Amino acid sequence: MEAKKWLREAAKYLLHGTLFAIVTDVFAIFWAFIFLFLAIIGSLLGIILGFVLLFVFMGFANSIVTGLLWFPVRKGFWIYLAQGFLLGIAIVVIELLPLLLFVSELTALDLTGRILLQIVLFILYAFIDGYLGKAIGGIWKEARVRAALGVSRLRPVPEFVPETKNPDGLRCPRCNGVRLVVETDRSAYCIDCRRGIHPSTWRATTS
């Protein structure tokens, strides 16, 4: 991949992750209120419902951002839920678990170190979120787009037509056509019949 195209892709992943973070932060405010309410009314069921809602929000946020930057994503509650669930698992495994491994080193950092770490992590995680978001959103890529792409790929390839090579003006014994490819041994191919002509068949038709 050329450098300019690579840079553009990288910038789009960064933008994807950043937009995803902004949209999920907005949803997180709503979600925190709903989650608190659900947790109060019924502890376990409320918490499960709260997580379902969180995944739906995440999937919805990723669908919006993927649609803006890459391709349209199919809509629907179950699609958002599945998308958010996969994203949530991937983010926990790739971004949160490694942090937990270094928790003692990280808490030992001074203020400058913490600020720097926050900046580095924000950029790094924006890339990762962008990459994951596009890959996971791609599972539910809008069918119309796929169909359109499929049609253009399946369009028949123009048929190969050989160039006429018939200096003696021979005629095809079957169709009497002159669009022939005659070889030096006088074997030939008729472009119109799409069939070969054996050298022994000439005598009957040529004058």
Which residues lie near Zn ion (CB under 5 A)? 172, 174-175, 177, 190, 192-193
Residue nearest to Zn ion (CB): 172
Rounded Cα–Cα distance for residues 61 and 75 (Å): 12
Tokens matching residue 122 = 């924000």
For Zn ion, the closer of residues 36 and 175 by Cβ is: 175
Of 25 and 168, nearer to Zn ion (C-beta) is 168
* Distance in Å, CB of 180 to Zn ion, minimum: 8
The least CB distance from residue 174 to Zn ion, in Å, is 4
> What residue has token string 């949803």?
27
Q: Where is 71: in which H helix or E strand?
A: none
* Shortest Å, Cβ 197 to Zn ion: 7
Q: Minimum distance from CB of 190 to Zn ion (Å)?
A: 3
Nearer to Zn ion, 156 or 167 (CB): 167
The per-residue b/e assignment along 176-197, b for 16 or more CB within 10 angstroms, e otherwise, is eeebbbbeeeeebbbbeeeeeb
By C-beta, is 94 or 178 nearer to Zn ion?
178
CA angle 16/18/21 to nearest 5° reads: 105
